Chains A and B, each alone.
Chain A
Amino acid sequence: MSLITEITIFVLAAFVGFEVISKVPTTLHTPLMSQTNAIHGIVMLGGLIVIGSADDSLEKLIGVIAIAFGTINIVGGFLVTDRMLGMFRGRDRKAKPEEPGQ
C-alpha cells in the first residue's frame, strides 16, 4: 500500500469512528471504552508478524511479551465487556442468572 492510500484510510476511519461513537449514550460509556479497548488489542497482529523474523533471543522475548500483552488486551477486554453488558437490563426483562465470579 502506498503511504497516501494509508493516509486516506486513516482519515476515513477517523470520520467513521467519530460518527459511530458519538451516538453511544453515556449510560454505555464504560462498556464502550472497554470494548474499544479490546479492539486496540488488534496490535497483537503486529506481534504475530514481527516474531516470524525474530532472529536473536531478545527479539523473541520481545515478541512473546508483545503477543501475551496483546492477547490479554483482547481476551480480557471482550470478556469483561460481555460481563458488563450482561448486567444492563430493561424494566420488562427478568433477571438472568448471575455471571460467575460475582
Chain B
Amino acid sequence: MSFAPPLALTQNSDFVTACYIVAFSLFILGIRQGTHPRTARRGNMVAAAGMLVAIAITLSLDVIGNGALILVGILIGTAVGVVASYRVQMTDMPQMVALYNGVGGGAAALISWSEFRHVSAGGSSIPLDIFVPILFSTVIGSVSFWGSNIAFGKLQAIIPSRPVQFPGQHIVNGLLLAGILAGCIVLGIDHDSPSQGLYIGILIAAAVLGNLFVLPIGGADMPVVISLLNAFTGLAAAAAGFALDNVVLIVAGTLVGSSGTILTLEMSRAMNRSIANLLFSGFGAASAAQGEREERPVHSIGAEDAAIKLGYADSVVFVPGYGMAVAQAQHAVKELGKELEKRGVRVSYAIHPVAGRMPGHMNVLLAEADVPYEQLEEMDEANAEMPQTDVAVVIGANDVTNPAAKDDPNSPIAGMPIIEVDQAKEVIVIKRSLSPGFAGIDNDLFYEDKTSMLFSDAKGAASDIAAQVEEL
C-alpha cells in the first residue's frame, strides 16, 4: 500500500527541526516538574505531549512509507502497552520497568539492523560517522534488550533470582566483548562492502553477552542493574539519532542516559560498592558460603506485646524492605500506622535507597497504600531522628539495618550506609525466621537486648498488631 505523508517535509527542514526542539523542551520541562510529587503527574503529561509532537511531525516526513505496516506496529504496541500498564500490580513495578526498558533497547537494535542493511545495500562506502553509531546502537540496544529480559525473569521469579554463576564466567564475558569489538573494527575497516553475516554475528554475540551479564547478578542488586540498563537504552536511542541524523533522538536518548547514570551511581553509593564490584562479583553467592552461625538467644514476642510497645510510644518509625513487597503488606502497615496516629503516636517511614528491587520501590508501594509522602523519610533524615525514636519497626528488611555494616570492618557489607535502627530506644523486627538476608550474613540486630522478634509474615503481623492496638 502506498502512503503519502500529508506534508512531505524533509527531516532537517527548519520547520521539522523546530518541532523537534519543542518536543525535547517538553521532555526537559516534564522531568523538571518531576522534582515534586505535587507537579510530577502534570510533568509526565507534559513529556507525553512532547512525544506526541515528535511522532506527529515524523509521520509527516517525506521518507515515511509503508503506512499500513506503521499502523499495524502502532496498534499492536498501543494495545500491549495499555493493557500491561493498567493490569500491573504496584509490587510488580520493577518487572514492568525492566520489560519496557527491554523493548526500547530491542527497538534500537532492530532499527540499527534495518539501517545497516539499508546503507550497506547502496554499494557506496558508508561514512564512519553513520557506521559507528549504527554499530554502537546495535550492540548496546541488544545487550539492553536481553539483559532486561533476564532481569524481568529474575524479578518475576521465572529464573532464579540468586546469582547464577559458572567458572570462567568473566573470561567468557571478556572474550565476547573483545569479539564484538573486533567484529565492529573489521566491519568498520571494510565499510565499502561490510559483511551481513559478520553483522548478524555481532548482534548474536551482544545478545549472549546481555544474558550472561545479568544472570550472575542477585535479586537485591537489581536496583543497580535496572538503572544501568535504563542508561544503556537511552544511549542506544541517542546513537540511533546520530545514525539517522535526528536531533530529538539525540537529546531524548542522552537525557535518559544521564538519568540512568545518576541513578546507577546513587544506588551503588547506597551499597558502598563500586559498579564494577556490583556487576562482576556475584555478591550473594560469595558471602553465603561463610555461614557458620552459632545459636544465640533472641527475645521473641507476640502481636499483643508489640501492640503495647507501639500503642504507648510517642514516636514510631517503620523500616520497610523487600519482604513488605513480597507479602503485599503495604496496606496492612498503613492501617497499623493509622491506628497508632489515632492514639497520638508520631509515625514515619524510613526508606533505605536500595530497599526493594528498584530505586524508590518502597515509596511507590506506600504511596499506593495512601501514606502521605511527607511521612516518607530518606535515610539521613531518619537516622538523625533515630535516637529520639521510641520504637523502630523493621518489616521485611534485613541487611539495610545490620549494624555490622558500621561495627565489623570484615563484614561483606562493611561501610554500607544503613538505617540505624539500633540507635532507637526499642526495636521490633517482624520476620518469618532468623534466616539471613541477601548478603547471607547474620544480623546482630536480632540479638540485641532492645530488640524483640515477632516471627510472622509481614501482612498478618501488621494487621494483628493493628487489631490489638485498637483494643488498647
Contacts and interface: CB of A to CB of B under 8 A. Distances in A.
A91 B41 contact: no
A48 to B, nearest CB: 5
B249 A72 contact: no
B81 interface: yes
A38 B73 contact: no
B48 A38 contact: yes
Nearest to B45: A82
B65 A53 contact: yes
A84 B364 contact: yes
Given A60-B69, A76-B85, A90-B372, A41 B244 contact: no
Contacts of A81: 44
Interface of A is mostly: helix
B77 A69 contact: yes
B114 A74 contact: no
Interface footprint category on B: 35 or more
Given A47-B73, A75-B81, A30 B115 contact: no
B20 to A, nearest CB: 9
A45 B246 contact: yes
Contact of B47 (A21, A35, A72): A35
User: SS class of chain B's interface: helix, strand, loop or mixed?
Assistant: helix
B389 interface: no
Contact of B370 (A14, A45, A47, A89): A89
Nearest to B29: A20
Interface string A10-43: 1001101110111111111111111111111111
Contacts of B364: 30-31, 84, 87
B373 A48 contact: no
Nearest to B352: A26
Contact of B41 (A3, A48, A51, A86): A86
A18 B44 CA distance: 18
Nearest to B86: A101
Contact of A50 (B11, B41, B118): B118
A49 B11 contact: yes
Contacts of B230: 33, 36-37, 40
B77 A70 contact: yes
B224 interface: no
Contact of B258 (A18, A27, A75, A83): A18
Nearest to A18: B258
B38 to A, nearest CB: 7
B107 A1 contact: no
A44 B262 contact: no
Nearest to B132: A3
Most buried by B among A14, A29, A31, A32: A29
B100 A37 contact: yes
Interface string A56-94: 001110111111111111111111111111111111010
B69 A83 contact: no
Nearest to A74: B51
B363 A85 contact: no
Contacts of B256: 17, 36-37, 39-40
Interface string B64-88: 1110011011101110111011111
Interface of B: 11-12, 24, 27-28, 30-32, 34-38, 40-41, 43-45, 47-48, 51, 54-55, 58-59, 61, 63-66, 69-70, 72-74, 76-78, 80-82, 84-88, 90, 93, 96-97, 100-101, 103-104, 106-108, 110-111, 113-115, 117-118, 129, 226-227, 230, 233-234, 236-238, 240-263, 266, 351, 353, 358-361, 363-364, 367-368, 370, 372-376, 378
Interface of A: 1, 3, 6, 9-10, 13-14, 16-18, 20-54, 58-60, 62-91, 93, 95, 99-101
10 contacts: A21-B258, A28-B363, A32-B360, A34-B97, A40-B234, A43-B104, A44-B55, A65-B107, A69-B106, A81-B44
Q: Report, nearest first, the 8 A-B pairs whose CB atoms are least far apart.
A: A71-B77, A17-B258, A67-B73, A29-B360, A75-B81, A76-B81, A29-B359, A52-B65
Given A34-B97, A48-B59, A84-B367, 12 more contacts: A22-B262, A24-B31, A35-B43, A36-B255, A39-B27, A43-B104, A46-B241, A47-B107, A49-B244, A49-B246, A64-B76, A84-B90
